[in-house]
Amino acid sequence: MAGLQYAGEYQIKELLIHTSSGSILNLTKATQSIDIYEDMFKTALSGSITILDVDNVAENGPIIGQEYMTIKLTTPSLDEEELEFIFAITKVTAREGLDPNVQLLALTFVSPEILRDKRIRVSKSFTDPINKIIESILTDSRYINTNKNVYLEETAGIRKVVCPNLHPYEFIKNLTMEAVTAKNGSPYFFFFENLKGIQFKSLNRIFAEDSIGEFHTGDVVPLAGKTVDHENDFKRALEFQINSNNDMILNTLGGMLGSNTIKYNIYNKSFEKLRYNYFSDFDKFSGSRIDENPIYNNNEIDIFDNNIGSFGDSKIYLHPTNASGDSDTQHTNSTSSYSYVPNKLNEAILFRRAKVMEINNSINITMKVNGNTTIAAGQTIQLTVPITGRVHEKETDEYYSGRYLVTKVRHSFYQPDKKHEIILNASKDSLPKELPKNSKAVEPLGSAGVVENITY
């Protein structure tokens, strides 16, 4: 890592604010801190910036929450990973006088695509695969008109859909719910923005890519001073916390363990019940993922040989469809030259909702690490967690260690120390080792109790 003095070092090459009055303010040296937020469940980047104002730029600009900010950031040893962004400033959060000659400005910003999204609506019919429809909305000058990198995974089937006067991102989120991959029909799609660009990807694609880095929690106390072992400093967790570890009630009610969909076909007036069982469907869309096991045990829990995934009625969905075989009967007739596919929501919703529940309510951790510009939400990391206690045969926790999906990232750039730190949330939806199983059915309530009818 030639050129790097310490882990977390960064450089602001340029930070300009373009005001609504036409002036351009160079605040590269006045910037105190920058926070940029990424989230797999959000459609755009957001953040905040604090500025030490000694030239009364707040009034001279003026800065009123109607500006654009351009920023260039880089890690000294990763010049090819230089980040260049345009953000829309939406709010002056605070304006505090520190002394007669200095004031502190706090500003909130978002990706400019969000402003564009909130200002316009789409009323149009589309005939294309879902990934092509999304591409059209993102790049069309009438809609989002982004010039950012856009990564779109191929989806199955050609759809004929109408957008009924919706905001662009609202329509895209609806399409994301219905999309399945062209490769194996996986419904685990997410639409979000990270530092790399705008992403429309399935979990299968994310897990098929290499992990972005290796981290360990063995030494969570940062070393004093700035060491020369940069590689190890980047792997070390500065802070580490386990946020949650499975909530049985929540996961049962939310349909993660078992659920049913009643599929009603309005074309031939029939209905079908589709079932989801956590254990039998665990690896249905596993793709390239190997050595992964459920985070729950499939022990029998009653005398009927049920396990915790056997109760589909804990969550029930009702979804209408209009299909004849693999054809959408709304747009297909005897003279049609092509058959369009119906929406797949009735097949996807059970798996997708269960997976979202699994990501949010299974094994979740928060970790602070030394920052670099290669880490982003929607990537995976390898995490090693040591065994707790003094005497053990093994050195690492075999259940908490392994591959994690990074769901949220907060990039914090603190200018006085020239230090970049990352606080990330990550989720683990499987275990590298199968849980030990009780071979006998469990009857936790014991023998039958006494039923006594009392009259007055």
- pLDDT, tens digit, for every residue of 331-379? 665 555 556 776 767 777 888 888 888 898 888 999 999 988 888 999 9
**pLDDT band at residue 291 using 50, 70 and 90 as cut-offs:** low
**pLDDT value, residue 223:** 47
| Gap between the Cα atoms of 233 and 223, Å rounded | 9
* Predicted pLDDT of residue 304: 86
Q: Which CATH class is domain 11-113?
A: mainly beta
Q: CATH 3.55.50.20 in the chain, residues?
A: 116-204
Cβ(349)–Cβ(319) below 8 Å:
yes
Confidence of residue 288 (pLDDT cuts 50, 70, 90): very low
Between 377 and 229, the more confident residue is 377
Above pLDDT 70, what percent of the chain? 87
Provide CATH 2.40.10.10 ranges for the chain: 11-113
Instruction: Select from 261, 262, 263, 260 the least CA-distant residue to 323.
Output: 263
Higher-confidence residue of 18 and 78: namely 18
- Residues ≥6 apart with Cβ < 8 Å to 126: 133, 136, 159, 160, 161, 162, 163
Mean model confidence pLDDT for the chain: 85
Domain 116-204 has CATH 3.55.50.20: yes
Give the pLDDT of residue 337: 57
Confidence (pLDDT) at 68: 96
Query: Whole-prediction pTM value?
Result: 0.88
- Region 381-392: what's the mean pLDDT? 78
Confidence of residue 226 (pLDDT cuts 50, 70, 90): low
Rounded to an integer, the average pLDDT of 241-255 is: 86
To the nearest whole percent, how much of the chain has pLDDT over 90?
43
Distance in angstroms (rounded) separating the CA atoms of residues 273 and 263: 6
